[in-house]
């Protein structure tokens, strides 16, 4: 079998792998990236609805979930949102801020992939697609069996991402490699994912599919404001995707259906009116939701027939609509995976495994998961850059 010698083998030609390769190549190291898909950066291409939300201007540790919330700080400080913005500007990529610091390409996410490819070419990085990776061993060098030959390298970088969206190339290989080298993986779960109704709620709410409201979704101490979308199977939209990362099976989520108004005050103003409750509520919520909500929580009557105590109780339910989701849509529809290679076992400066010199883990495969809004790609850039200085 052909033997290929390189300084560095990177498995995974996604966001973090490409960034790491660029940085290592710039240092004069010989780099090969292996990927089993027919195209590189498939998730980047699909990201941000095709416009790639490539960073968030303010990316801080608080925007990430990890068993060690401090782990991401060092890498984020060394390759910042401004650094990826500078790179995009050097490549003439036009971008705009959509909301809350989220930067998107004006044209297409393909521009980001092209930028990474151009940088890889300049740094003489070799990219091999459609490449199957088999057994990996380590003696003095790492030896990686592939269908294009046996690679030997001083450093091996695992940039294989999480489990979400298998159709875009996700596999569990990164976790298996970690396990093989004796590293632990924290519990994995789909995140930034639509939530499903439980059995009884599904019968009640599935007919509201298509409705969307601007609300606040909470789980424990976390809350997110944004669009909540009713689907046939459950709830989706940015506020729900955000809260899904903090939700665990069996837990409740609370939705404030009217975060901007004090509905009790409106009830009081109408205390002498014969306006029906559901008609009043539908001034603030879509009619079909308001009807359904009243049917279940407070059968509609003229406003003047309720007491002040009733108003308070109904208002409380509107501001704290509590549901227990039956589950999530799973990895097929999850934007990311929470959990990953235990950060206790990695250097936060270099991403190298403490007990396996030369073995590096970067990007989503590590137990660092960002909120919605460009934080996940920023982590991929920052962790790839960090490893790129040391591999």
Ligand X SMILES: Cc1cc2nc3c(=O)[nH]c(=O)nc-3n(C[C@H](O)[C@H](O)[C@H](O)COP(=O)(O)OP(=O)(O)OC[C@H]3O[C@@H](n4cnc5c(N)ncnc54)[C@H](O)[C@@H]3O)c2cc1C
Interface with ligand X, residue 85, by CB under 6 A:
no
Contacting ligand X (CB under 6 A), which of 9, 31, 48, 253? 48
Are the beta carbons of 34 and 24 closer than 8 angstroms? Answer: no
For ligand X, the binding residue among 6, 47, 256, 360 (CB under 6 A) is 47
Residue keyed to tokens 């700080």: 73
Give the footprint of ligand X on residues 153-172 (CB under 6 A). Answer: 159-161, 164-165, 168-171
* From 11-19, 181-189, 232-240, 311-319, span contacting ligand X (CB under 6 A): 11-19
- Give the shortest CB-297-to-ligand X separation in angstroms: 35
- What 234-239 contacts at long range (C-beta under 8 Å, 24+ apart), as own/partner pairs, is 234/194, 234/195, 234/196, 234/197, 234/202, 234/325, 234/326, 234/329, 235/194, 235/195, 235/197, 235/323, 235/325, 236/194, 236/195, 237/212, 238/372, 239/215
59 binds ligand X (CB under 6 A): no
Single out the residue of 10, 11, 125, 368 in contact with ligand X (rule: CB under 6 A).
11
For residue 64, give the 3-state DSSP assignment.
strand
**Shortest gap between Cβ of 160 and ligand X (angstroms)?**
4
Determine contact, residues 185/338, Cβ cutoff 8 Å.
no
Strands of 85-125, DSSP E: 95-97, 102-105
By beta-carbon proximity to ligand X, the closer residue of 9 and 257 is 9
| Beta bridge pairs of residue 191 | 336
CB of 132 to ligand X, least distance (A): 7
Q: Are 36 and 131 in contact (CB under 8 A)?
A: yes
| The one among 7, 26, 45, 46 contacting ligand X by CB under 6 A | 46
Contact flag: residue 374 with ligand X (CB under 6 A):
yes
In this structure, are residues 194 and 209 in contact, taking their beta carbons and an 8 Å threshold?
Answer: no
Task: Report the residue from 4, 9, 16, 292 that binds ligand X according to the rule CB under 6 A.
Answer: 16
Q: Does 238 bind ligand X (CB under 6 A)?
A: no
Q: Of 164 and 382, which has the nearer Cβ to ligand X?
A: 164
The count of chain residues that interact with ligand X, using the rule CB under 6 A, is: 40
Chain centroid offset of residue 316 CA: 32
Joined together, the tokens standing for residue 101 give 């610091």
Of residues 4, 9, 10, 12, which one binds ligand X by CB under 6 A? 12
CB of 67 to ligand X, least distance (A): 18
Asked if 113 and 87 count as a contact pair (C-beta separation under 8 A), the reply is no
Binding of ligand X at residue 194 (CB under 6 A)?
Answer: no
Question: Which residues, 126 to 155, sit near ligand X by CB under 6 A?
Answer: 133
Q: Is 173 in the site for ligand X (CB under 6 A)?
A: yes
Which of 12/388 has CB closer to ligand X? 12
Sign of CA dihedral 271, 273, 322, 61: negative
Nearest to 104 by CA among 84, 118, 120: 84
Residue of minimal CB distance from ligand X?
A: 14
Nearest distance, CB of residue 69 and ligand X, angstroms: 18
CA 371 to chain centre: 6
Return the residue of 9, 17, 177, 321 that touches ligand X, per CB under 6 A. Answer: 17
Site for ligand X in 331-360 (CB under 6 A): 335-336
Q: Is 167 exposed, middle or buried (0-12, 13-18, 19+ CB in 10 A)?
A: exposed
Q: Which of 29, 31, 32, 35 binds ligand X (CB under 6 A)?
A: 35
- Site for ligand X, rule CB under 6 A: 11-17, 34-37, 42-44, 46-48, 52-53, 133, 159-161, 164-165, 168-171, 173, 335-336, 363-365, 374-377, 380
């Amino acid at each position: 079998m052909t033997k290929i010698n390189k300084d560095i083998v990177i498995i995974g030609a996604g966001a973090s792998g490409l960034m790491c390769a660029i940085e290592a190549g710039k240092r004069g190291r010989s780099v090969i990236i292996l990927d089993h898909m027919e195209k590189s950066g498939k998730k980047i291409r699909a990201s941000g609805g095709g416009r790639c939300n490539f960073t968030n201007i303010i990316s801080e540790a608080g925007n990430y979930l990890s068993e060690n919330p401090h782990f991401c700080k060092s890498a984020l400080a060394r390759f910042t949102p401004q650094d990826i913005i500078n790179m995009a500007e050097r490549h003439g990529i036009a971008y705009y801020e959509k909301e809350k610091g989220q930067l998107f390409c004006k044209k297409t996410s393909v521009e980001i992939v092209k930028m990474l490819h151009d940088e890889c070419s300049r740094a003489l990085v070799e990219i091999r697609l459609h490449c199957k990776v088999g057994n990996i061993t380590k003696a003095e060098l790492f030896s990686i069996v592939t269908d294009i030959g046996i690679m030997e390298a001083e450093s091996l970088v695992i940039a294989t991402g999480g489990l979400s969206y298998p159709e875009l190339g996700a596999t569990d290989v990164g976790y298996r490699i970690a396990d093989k080298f004796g590293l632990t993986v924290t519990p994995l779960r789909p995140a930034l994912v639509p939530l499903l109704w439980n059995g009884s709620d599904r019968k009640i709410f599935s007919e509201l599919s298509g409705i969307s409201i601007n609300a606040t979704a909470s789980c424990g101490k976390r809350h997110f404001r944004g669009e909540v979308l009713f689907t046939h199977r459950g709830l989706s939209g940015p506020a729900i995707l955000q809260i899904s990362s903090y939700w665990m099976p069996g837990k409740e989520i609370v939705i404030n259906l009217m975060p901007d108004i004090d509905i009790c005050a409106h009830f009081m103003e109408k205390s002498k009116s014969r306006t029906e409750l559901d008609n009043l509520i539908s001034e603030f919520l879509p009619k079909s939701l308001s009807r359904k909500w009243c049917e279940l929580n407070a059968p509609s009557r003229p406003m003047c027939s309720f007491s002040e105590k009733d108003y308070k109780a109904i208002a409380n339910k509107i501001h704290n609509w509590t549901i227990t989701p039956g589950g999530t849509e799973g990895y097929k529809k999850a934007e990311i995976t929470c959990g990953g290679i235990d950060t206790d076992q990695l250097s936060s400066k270099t991403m190298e495994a403490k007990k396996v010199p030369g073995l590096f883990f970067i990007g989503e495969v590590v137990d660092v998961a960002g909120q919605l809004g460009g934080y996940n790609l920023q982590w991929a850039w920052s962790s790839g850059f960090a490893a790129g200085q040391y591999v």
